[in-house]
Amino acid sequence: MVEQDLDRALRLEPSGAGVWSAVADPNYESANGMFGGWTTAVALRAVTRSAAGEAEPSVINVNFIAKIEPETNLIIQTRQAGESRAVSHWMAELMSANENATLASASVVLAERRPSDEHIDVSAPGAPDPDTLELVYLAPGTAGERCAMRPIEGFPPFGRTTTYSTAWVKEISGRPVDHLQLAFLSDLRPPRSFYWSDGLRPSATLTLSVYFHATNEELEEVGDDYLLSEAFGTRGARSTSEEHLRLWSRGGVLLSSSVQMAWYR
């Protein structure tokens, strides 16, 4: 196990004001180019580095425009689109350094988290202790697995009458969970189109939005522990599928939620 491996995969080098260079780490390759969670996390890191303030990520939305091949040299350009007293809006564009082609674009909202009243309308699903469940190591990565999963419900994801699934998941480098890691793990689940199919089928993410709920204090309590992943779909039709995911702490705190539109065939 390589400590802090994900940080190395998300390494950025400054290349000018609001401009960063990165390399698509082949250890985080998925079935169709780079893992979507890696793309989301590297875009978020570029924006937070450019912002260089105390505001925390509230939302990131990524459009996956073209396949990012492993080992591609990337240029990430960021700019602030607007701000108010407590909220700032940012844009990021991921481009191939060699071809100057846009591969992905992202919008990010940073917010100053202030004390307020609260509410929540959902609760964490029941789940056994992760150490009592089968351990499965997962891609992304062609040079070795990077994530661990302990399935609870909805596995294997084929020939089912519902797309609902739950599992304990973690990125295994030992890196403590933070907003970047929540972004990374937001794409870690089987495509929902597998659930009404007899087996594997082509699938790719078109757009992914991640909504961050956790406070820094709540993330510190998690450390590098497993997160409970709750995933479900709404409808798949005419080759696109809307898919949702929630990440919970072991203590039942909702840390983030996400929605994506996926293409399938």
What is the number of structural domains in the chain?
Answer: 1
Q: What is the model's pLDDT at position 4?
A: 63
119 is a domain residue: no
Structure tokens at 174: 């030992």
Q: What is the model's pLDDT at position 72?
A: 96
181 is a domain residue: yes
Q: What is the model's pLDDT at position 3?
A: 40
> Which amino acid is located at 159 in the chain?
G
124 is a domain residue: no
Range of the domain at 203: 5-112+129-264
CATH number at residue 151: 2.40.160.210
Q: Round to whole Å and give the CA distance between 182 and 44.
A: 11
57 is a domain residue: yes
Q: What is the model's pLDDT at position 2?
A: 43
Q: What is the model's pLDDT at position 234?
A: 98
159-162 CB contacts, 8 Å cutoff, 24+ apart: 159/197, 159/198, 160/195, 160/196, 162/195, 162/232
Structure tokens at 164: 């609902």
79 is a domain residue: yes
Q: What is the model's pLDDT at position 1?
A: 42
Structure tokens at 172: 């295994």
**For each successive 10 residues of the chain (265 residues), what is the average pLDDT?**
74 96 93 92 98 93 96 97 95 93 97 92 97 88 74 97 97 93 96 96 96 96 97 97 98 98 96
Q: Round to whole Å and give the CA distance between 243 and 231.
A: 7
48 is a domain residue: yes
Contact indicator for 51, 23 with CB cutoff of 8 Å? no
180 is a domain residue: yes
118 is a domain residue: no
